């Protein structure tokens, strides 16, 4: 009985004691720099001030995408020519069913993006193609 009581008391003391995951020095550096523990290793420098980190973040932000040659409504077709899906391309985004698509970018003169397992390639001339591991088809602009 005494053994169980001592074990329970020890376990309770461990559980209620505060956990200090980071040192006070590191905490102060994070506060001064405007970084968090997550961003510290992802481009935020704890040895710089908040203003210096903000300026560095603005310089490293990629330019806004320009999908101007692809603007319009596009329709993906299966191998039989039946319409499957519709995409809306604006100057800065690509959407299907009201949702942004994944990884939209212009590469080698074509707009490429992903929707689930399918990869789409649009050409400024108004046509393109799509491909999955088991199917493929065409895309045309309306």
CA 82, 84, 88, 93 torsion-angle sign: negative
Tens digit of each residue's pLDDT (9 = 90 or more) over 102-116:
889 998 889 999 988
The separation between CA 33 and the C-alpha centre of its own chain, rounded to angstroms, equals 24
**Token pair recorded at residue 130:** 């799509």
**pTM, 2 dp:** 0.55
pLDDT at 112: 92
Under the banding of pLDDT at 50, 70 and 90, the label for residue 59 is: low
pLDDT at position 63 over 60: no
4-27 core/surface letters (b: 16 or more CB in 10 A; e: else) = eeeeeeeeeeeeeeeeeeeeeeee
Mean pLDDT across 62-88:
87
Question: Within 13 Å and on the Cβ side, how many CA atoms surround 22?
Answer: 11
């Amino acid at each position: 009985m005494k053994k169980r009581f001592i074990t329970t008391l020890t376990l309770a003391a461990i559980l209620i004691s505060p956990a200090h995951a980071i040192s006070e020095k590191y905490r102060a550096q994070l506060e001064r720099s405007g970084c968090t523990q997550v961003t510290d290793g992802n481009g935020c420098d704890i040895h710089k001030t908040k203003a210096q980190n903000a300026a560095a973040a603005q310089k490293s932000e990629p330019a806004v995408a320009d999908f101007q040659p692809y603007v319009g409504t596009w329709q993906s077709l299966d191998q039989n020519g039946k319409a499957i899906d519709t995409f809306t391309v604006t100057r800065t985004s690509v959407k299907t069913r009201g949702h942004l698509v994944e990884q939209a970018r212009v590469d080698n003169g074509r707009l490429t993006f992903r929707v689930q397992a399918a990869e789409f390639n649009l050409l400024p001339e108004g046509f393109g193609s799509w491909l999955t591991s088991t199917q493929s088809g065409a895309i045309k602009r309306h």
